[in-house]
Amino acid sequence: MIIVKHRFSNHTISPDTETLILGTFNPDTPRNSAEFFYGRTRNHLWRLLPTAFGEDDLKGAPKTGKLQFIKKFKIDLIDLIKEIKVGEGQEANYDDVYIDNKVSIWQNVIGEIDKLPNLKRVCFTRKTFTGIPNMKKQVAEIQAYCENRGVLFKALTTPSRFYSNDKQAVWNDFLNSK
């Protein structure tokens, strides 16, 4: 088995965060060209976020621009998984259904949430849980914890694959909720 760590495991969440975006996993492999969370070419988070605030599209922008944006709007990012163990040749396979039972270390998301006194909302970047029972369990625990703290929690339409006005409207509603 080969151990694959999260590519951005050294990312520190700002204590000023009001919106936390929760994803699944970003493998630290040579075949992954993402320089920051949601940086793959088929992911549109960096278009959805700025558009919700009337800002310029950051898809394809350098990491520094994305860091400035999340600081300005008090947004930060974390993933459920810190490390997976996979078979040889599967190091870059980040499909949720495949990695759901390959997790060797879960991220302590609730521990990170505890460090965020201004947190108002958390979203999981996926609406369905078919084929990912272990992730579903982790997300359910995080959702219950948020609800007990009075923090809005939503599972949103994935930012990957395509961009649409309907998807943008869902993200706008969440990001601009009080």
For the segment 9-25, what is each residue's pLDDT rounded down to a tens digit?
Answer: 889 999 999 999 999 99
Segments making up each domain of the chain, as ranges: 2-175
More confident residue, 35 or 73: 73
Looking at the predicted structure, is the pLDDT value of residue 161 above 90? no
Mean pLDDT of 75-89: 96
Confidence at residue 41, expressed as pLDDT on a 0 to 100 scale: 84
Q: Determine the CATH number of domain 2-175.
A: 3.40.470.10
Per residue in 28-57, pLDDT (tens digit) is 998 888 899 998 888 999 999 999 999 999
**Measured between alpha carbons, how far is 113 from 128 in angstroms, rounded to an integer?**
23
Give the pLDDT confidence of 115-149 residue by residue, as tens digits: 999 999 999 999 999 999 999 999 999 999 999 99
Q: What's the chain's average pLDDT?
A: 95
What pLDDT score does 177 carry?
A: 85
Given this model, what pLDDT does residue 171 score?
95
Task: Specify the pLDDT at position 49.
Answer: 97
Statement: residue 178 has pLDDT above 80: no
What is the pLDDT averaged over residues 1-15?
A: 94
Measure the CA–CA gap between 16 and 117, rounded to whole angstroms. 8
Q: Is the pLDDT of residue 112 over 80?
A: yes
- Please say if the pLDDT value at position 98 is more than 90: yes
